[in-house]
Amino acid sequence: MGSRVVTCPHCGGKVNVKSATCPHCGGGRLSPADKSRKPTCPRCRISLIHYAYRDRDLDMCPHCGGVWLDRGEFRDLTREGDVYQSQPAPKGYVRGAIRGPIQYIPCVRCGRLMNRKNFAKISGVIIDECRHHGVWLDGGELELIRTFIADGGLERAQDKAIEKNRQALRELASNVGTVKFTQRMIHFWNPKRWFFTGWK
């Protein structure tokens, strides 16, 4: 019995139904969503409206200004190329304070609670993400993210990740050196050596 496949809504590629994302384009929504669900704001519980943003049609809450972005839309709008090609974003990004209290909100597409994560790990913009369907951004967060990118934030995040990896490699090299030293000492003080060779 052959495996079932679904069609990626972004690139049209055929993908195994068990896959979470499209291996062809990386942005296809492959998890089945409840088609009967009317897109509503996960915070205000009111229907989302269509909102024109940079030649795209996004879903926005008319009350709080939050925006729902499907995976492909979020990927496209947070690409450095898209940010730099569009009208210049104001530079000089300043990381704001993390808002509280922590509240987990449901995915607009499937209704499951989404994960919270710091965009690029250092931006300070906490996004709500469903790994299957997309991202919810509170009012103003999309522009904050694009300003962060325009100000070189992704490059700083990459530099920080590279330095973290370098430090981990240094520690690993140090630990490997310590292990070798320990192994040599254990061999030197091996009780069998004492028994057969004496204390000389």
Residues of the chain with pLDDT under 70: 1-3, 10, 20, 26-36, 86-92, 94, 97-100, 181, 185-200
- 115 and 52 housed in the same domain: yes
Q: What is the pLDDT of residue 90?
A: 58
**Would you say residue 51 lies in a domain?**
yes
- 21 and 88 housed in the same domain: no
Taking the alpha carbons at both ends of the chain, their separation in whole angstroms is 73
- 129 and 110 housed in the same domain: yes
Q: What is the pLDDT of residue 41?
A: 96
Look at the chain and report how many structural domains it folds into. 2
Q: What is the pLDDT of residue 132?
A: 87
What is the token pair recorded at 104?
């987990």
- 69 and 45 housed in the same domain: yes
**Would you say residue 122 lies in a domain?**
yes
**Would you say residue 172 lies in a domain?**
no
Domain assignment of residue 5, given as a range: 1-30
- 86 and 19 housed in the same domain: no
- 92 and 125 housed in the same domain: yes
- 24 and 41 housed in the same domain: no
Share of the chain above pLDDT 90, in %: 35
Query: How distant, in Å, are the alpha carbons of 34, 81, 145, 170 from that of 48?
Result: 16, 28, 21, 50
- 126 and 55 housed in the same domain: yes
